[in-house]
């Protein structure tokens, strides 16, 4: 029993630097305005300060082309999940759906992504 407890403590301690995990996209709103698109994107990440925080999200075409990038310049430790917007995104007329993904400054991309069909 004692060995099990020590293993758990050691395992928890070794995982500590990665507690914040990856950044996940939870919600997306998209609307067209004057020929370009605007996106409101809600991201969740257990930001741990400047050393580990969600620092970016992107809008991707189906072929992987990056159509827009929203840089996040600071941690959002006390605001989770949080929503940020990006306007002026040019989406080719032939593109009817986009994928939104977020990243953090430790793990990069890899969290939950959301693909949406663009409203007409």
Integer Cα distance of 44 and 28 in angstroms: 12
- Quick one: pLDDT at residue 1? 38
Closest C-alpha to 42, from 51, 30, 60, 31: 30
Integer Cα distance of 62 and 95 in angstroms: 8
Three-class SS state of 11: helix
Q: Is the pLDDT of residue 108 over 50?
A: yes
Question: Which residues have C-beta within 8 Å of that of residue 28, sequence separation ≥ 6?
Answer: 39, 40, 41, 42, 100, 114, 116
Cβ proximity of 70 and 86 under 8 Å: yes
User: Using omega within 30 degrees of 0 as the cis cutoff, is the peptide bond preceding 58 cis?
Assistant: no
Q: Considering the entire predicted model, what is its pTM? A: 0.79
Integer Cα distance of 21 and 17 in angstroms: 9
Q: Is the pLDDT of residue 49 over 60?
A: yes
Q: Which domains does the chain have, with CATH numbers?
A: 20-117 (2.60.40.10)
pLDDT digits 0-9 by tens, 1-43: 333 333 233 333 333 344 567 889 999 999 999 899 999 999 9
pLDDT digits 0-9 by tens, 82-99: 899 999 999 999 999 999
């Amino acid at each position: 029993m004692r060995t099990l407890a020590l293993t758990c403590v050691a395992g928890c301690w070794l995982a500590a630097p990665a507690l914040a995990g990856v950044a996940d996209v939870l919600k997306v709103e998209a609307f067209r305005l004057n020929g370009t698109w605007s996106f409101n994107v809600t991201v969740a990440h257990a930001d741990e300060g400047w050393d580990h925080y969600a620092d970016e999200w992107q809008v991707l075409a189906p072929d992987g082309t990056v159509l827009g990038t929203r840089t996040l310049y600071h941690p959002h430790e006390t605001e989770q999940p949080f929503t940020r917007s990006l306007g002026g995104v040019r989406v080719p007329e032939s593109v009817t759906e986009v994928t939104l993904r977020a990243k953090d400054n430790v793990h990069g991309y890899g969290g939950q992504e959301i693909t949406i069909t663009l409203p007409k």
